[in-house]
Amino acid sequence: MAFSFEILATDGPARAGVFHTPHGSIPTPVFAPVGTAATVKAVPPRDLHDIGATLVLANTYHLHLRPGDELVRDMGGLHRFMAWPGPMLTDSGGFQVFSLTEINRIDDDGVTFRSHIDGSQLRFTPEVSMQIQQNLGADIIMCFDECPTPTDRAVVERAVQRTHQWAARCRQAHPDDSQQALFGIVQGGIFPDLREQSASFLQTLDFPGYAIGGLAVGETKSQMYATLDYTMPTLPADKPRYLMGVGEPDDLAQAIRRGVDIFDCVMPTRLARHGSALTPDGRINMRNRAYAREDAPLDPECDCYCCRTFSRAYLRHLVHSKELLGHHLLSLHNIRFLNRHVQRMREAILEGRLTTYIDTFLGRYLHPA
């Protein structure tokens, strides 16, 4: 089989596994940097490989608008187009449709909206999302879903029903997972009964993996963790579980200890473009004057090119001067930081010491000396 998932070890609900795909195997848990427009901002594929990335995400909505999914298909698909040979995932475009655009109409068939680029009117349906993602050619593709405000029960109930209808249509449009694995997306906001209902329905469609959507979109961290507490046990144990759009180091730790396998987030490169870096002692702002004469590396514990080569003083100069190299170096470091964090949790699961690792990490990251 082109796709298979094996669990090598568990530590409580946490799992260390491998998800095999046509473009390579993904050790899990895994953090995927986001390459929205077929590029992880400021980071070439060569460097992604060097810092340990094994999965990259690209965005259906943005690539459909430009350069066009048919062009990407004609250029050999996403892997060849962006010269990333490893596994790739595309989201459905639904989150961007609901968050970035002017919605003209949402109905049970799909969504009519206006492009955020030129205002042109467009229509997304489950079948359209499937066709775009098939043109793009990623290994893992996502059902078209409605991502609602997570705390309004009436809104969430409608979105869950629509998400289920659309998932069935996506499954009908994409019945064969031999070349692209279609994941279902569990919705339900912060409501346990709706999450259970959603997970139960989606399993009737026999997806090769399941995502938890509708989190990190306005609820508190405690609400997110509580939602994972009652959602994770409703998902099949023998298939990968993907928490969409989550990448804060503390959230990764809390989700992995609850059994999540796959993550993605724009956060590490977005922070870099704003001059911020992730360290074991929390985020630091490289614009701070305190770093102007500091000869130490950004993070002495990190093995990335940025930390092995440059001082905090130089990085502060790049950020203060708005030099593009600063974006590149901080992006390299931030992605590497998250990759190492997740890799260390995987090692801890294999060795049966995850709780010790997480408690030590969070004690320092959330409460630096």
> Active site residue: 47, 145, 264, 299, which one?
264
Pairing verdict, β 121-124 and 140-142: unpaired
Report how far residue 202's alpha carbon sits from residue 185's, in angstroms, rounded to the nearest whole number.
8
69, 91, 261, 299: which is the annotated catalytic residue?
A: 91
109 in catalytic set: no
Separation CA 164–CA 156 (nearest Å): 12
**Inter-CA distances, 61 with 42, 224, 240, 287, Å:** 20, 26, 24, 34
Instruction: Quickly list DSSP for 210-272.
Output: EEE-S-SSSS-HHHHHHHHHHHGGGS-TTS-EEETT---HHHHHHHHTTT--EEEESHHHHHH
| Phi and psi angles of residue 85, each rounded to the nearest 5 degrees, phi first | -85, -10
Task: Give the separation between CA 242 and CA 221, rounded to whole angstroms.
Answer: 17
Find out whether 54 and 21 touch, Cβ atoms under 8 Å: no
91 assigned to active site = yes
Which residues have a catalytic role annotated? 91, 264
